[in-house]
A = this chain, B = another copy of it.
Amino acid sequence: MVSARMSDPKIWKTCVGAMVNLIEEAAFKFTPAGVKMKAMDPSHVALVDFELPAAAFSEYVVKQPVTLGINLTEMDKILSRAKADDELILELDEKMNRLAIVFKGASTRRLSLPLIDVREAELQEPRIQFTATAEILAGIIQDGLKDAELISDNVRFELNDDGFFITAEGDRGSTELRLCKGDKGLLNLSVKERARAMFNIKYLTDMTKAAGAADVMKISLGTNLPIQLDYPIAGGVGKLRFLLAPRVESE
């Protein structure tokens, strides 16, 4: 039995909205402790790591661990039908082999989607020795990516003692975003060693676009290492993490 209830549909909606651009199918593990999901994108460049503990739900009943295979595109379409005031309920319909997503508001709407078989890869999250981290308003990151998109497919992220930098270079010009120590959008900066690496803009855009402009994201970087992006989920009790492999810089 699975029955999980949230007073705000936004948490689940944001998480699925952030995943759906990278992976199409996901195996959500519902256990008495909470929900987990880990997956790589088809080209194995990006990894999603999601956890929502039972405490993040207003009501959470899972007797036996169960893994639910979900088509994220379909789930995302259903979640787009949520209204801001709706209560969200996830319910396993074992007989029909479906997951029901219930929106309780002006009416009660029950949208069910078929469960699918999803091969669960045993993913070991890589241990990376990041040399710098920062907490940054998502809107700032989104702006830097949109700027860079005008002229290139790739973007360089850098954290150093001065702050956070997004730069891009192309035939049609260059872009640079500087967010310096003291700027309001930079909430925390911790630099052991200057870190910079280049990434594909489309992946970073997909990973960040579900965030609200005022959400605080945590960035972890190391020179020519993968970037780690952490969403602020359910007031800190959940985890939505993305890892993205760097592009080799030809310099």
Contact = CB atoms under 8 A, between A and B. Distances in A.
A185 interface: yes
A174 interface: yes
Contacts of A144: 107, 109
A96 B172 CA distance: 12
A108 interface: yes
A interface, size bucket: 35 or more
A63 interface: no
A147 interface: yes
Nearest to A146: B81
Contacts of A208: none
Nearest to A105: B143
Interface in A84-143: 96, 98, 106-114, 137, 139-140, 143
Interface in A163-183: 171-180, 183
Contact of A107 (B81, B107, B113, B143): B143
B139 A98 contact: no
A193 interface: no
A61 interface: no
